[in-house]
Amino acid sequence: MIYPIEVNDLYYKYEGNLREILNGVNLKVVEGEAVAIVGLSGCGKSTLLYNICGIIPHIYKGEARGQVKIWGKNILDMKLPEIATKVGIVFQDPDTQLFSPTVENEIAFGPENLCVAREEIGLRIERVLKIVNMEKYRLENPNSLSGGQKQLIAIASVLAMETEILLFDEILSQIDHEGKIKIREVIKELKGEGKTIVLIEHDLDNLQIADRVLQLKDGKLEEFKDGETVGLNRA
Amino acid sequence: MNVDPRTKLVIVLCLSTLAIFIKDVLFLNGVLLITIIISLIFKTNMLQILRKIKRLLYVLLAIAVIQSVFSAGGRTLIEVGELVILTTVGLQKGLEFVIRIMIIILSATIITTSNSREIVQGLVQWKLPYEIAFMVSIGIRFLPILIEEIKDSVIAIQLRGIEIEKIPLRERFRVYSYLFTPVFVSTIIRAQKLSMSIEMRGFRAYETRTSYTVLEMSYTDYLVIFSSLLCTSALMYLYVS
Ligand SMILES: Nc1ncnc2c1ncn2[C@@H]1O[C@H](COP(=O)(O)OP(=O)(O)OP(=O)(O)O)[C@@H](O)[C@H]1O
Ligand SMILES: [Mg+2]
């Protein structure tokens, strides 16, 4: 069987670090599944996502062993932009992922790179802005938005690329209550459309949208048992 | 005014060409006046820029004195004993230089009334490769952030009660190295994060890309470009003859 995401016995150590952050991670995600990953701060959740989307080893070097495959193809055999046609990732830090002069340009950037037709890009911009409830900010400079708003634009920009696989790194942490409910609904819908989703979460409430919850501990993924041990917030 | 960034670029090129080639103070003043009028039309933030470049006054003074001391000619304005400090020719040279720089800076800010995506698109439609235009725009965009960060760390050092001006030069280098190491590191990290998000949004995924922003020159644009070129040539001709 070919999985959208397949991680086999992955080890990883950042350049200059003493300890391995990932210590034999195994993960298979099937099409249309939403998997949530929880774990203590600094345990390597973001690092795992970087491995899945190829940022490691394409941008961060360090020592990696094991195998990551996207739809059966080893990420080592793909360049990042090629991976980006299949995998969309929203990063944890809202400050470092926006770079365009207006919200509209920011959202258009991904689809433009993927050669989506101009009219279609216009439609997508409207649609994703509606999803994150930011239509009013279409012509604003992303730099002048609040942290939560930036995160919403980052989500919109990735959604506009309409990739089959989506990775969300604690994307709800800075967003207000209403926004959270809305985005959760959107994630459920995306799952319904057959998208494959991996999300990192700190909030128990947000875990309900996942089909499966895994816990990253001591560099390994295991079945999630107990919220207390991984520092989850109970809202 | 809604003008194509390419039109603005032409205007800037015309004004800077005049600023560089013309050596006559009276002519230069005329060009400066034109620049100011155009800036007003485009509603650039002139006052803010002028406040930023007021240091040019020191440059004016420095050039005026240097020219006065080392080149003969003109009426002497100030002298100390035998040494001529300031002459009319020196003052004129200094003024010329400052006016020239002011024309270039003021005209360059006309472009900034377009957003960077439009400028990139303008250059792309002029057949500059998208990647190069995009990289340059990203560079320009993050320069102010870098400057802010450096300013912040200078303030941080001053808050600890260190007055940089009073430290001997050799020590000062050490303080600066303390200051720039964190800025350098954070810049590298920022650049790395930025390239992560740019690449994960498919930058250079294919040979070509589409563009949501499309620029179209209007009749006004053509008219403005035509008259800018005409005026520039006329002024050059007038100046030469
Ligand atoms: N570029 C890097 N170079 C070296 N070490 C790094 C780098 N990035 C992260 N680390 C280290 O790797 C470990 C895991 O980091 P990571 O960001 O993956 O954790 P995380 O589980 O996402 O944490 P959080 O919940 O705070 O987001 C941390 O101890 C961190 O210090
Ligand atoms: Mg993280």
Query: Can you tell me the ipTM of this complex?
Result: 0.90
Distance between Cα A62 and ligand 1 center (Å): 13
pLDDT digits (tens, 9 = 90+) for A112-140: 999 999 999 999 999 999 999 999 999 99
- The answer to whether the CB atoms of A81 and B203 lie below 8 A apart is yes
Cα dihedral B122, B123, B125, B126 in deg (nearest 10): 120
**CA-nearest residue of chain A to B212?**
A118
Cα dist. B87→A113, B25, B74, B79, B93 in Å? Answer: 60, 16, 6, 9, 10
Ligand 1 pocket check for A42: Cβ under 6 Å: yes
pLDDT digits (tens, 9 = 90+) for A151-172: 999 999 999 999 999 999 999 9
**What span, in angstroms and rounded, lies between the C-alpha atoms of A78 and B93?**
60
- The answer to whether the CB atoms of B195 and A115 lie below 8 A apart is no
Alpha helices in A134-220 (DSSP H): 147-159, 177-192
Q: Which residues contact A192 (CB under 8 A, 6 or more apart)?
A: none
Q: Which residue's structure tokens are 């006004």? A: B220
Of B96, B74, B97, B92, which Cα lies nearest the Cα of B84?
A: B74
Of B204, B207, B212, B198, which Cα lies nearest the Cα of A120?
A: B212
pLDDT digit string (tens) for chain B, length 241 residues = 679 999 999 999 999 999 998 888 888 999 999 999 999 999 888 888 888 888 888 888 888 888 888 877 778 888 888 788 888 888 888 888 889 999 999 999 999 889 889 999 999 999 999 999 999 888 888 888 888 888 888 888 778 777 777 778 888 788 778 777 888 888 888 888 999 999 999 998 999 999 999 999 999 999 999 999 999 999 999 888 8
Sheet strands (E) in B72-198: 76-80, 83-87
- The answer to whether the CB atoms of A112 and B198 lie below 8 A apart is no
Closest Cβ–Cβ partner in B115, B205, B209 for A82: B205
- Does the domain at A1-83+202-225 match CATH 3.40.50.300? Answer given as yes
Tally Cβ neighbours within 10 Å of residue A189: 11
The model's pTM is: 0.87
Percent of chain A topping pLDDT 90: 75
User: In the predicted model, what is the mean pLDDT of chain A?
Assistant: 92
In three-state secondary structure terms, A52 is helix
Of the CA atoms within 13 Å of residue B76, those in its CB half-sphere come to 11
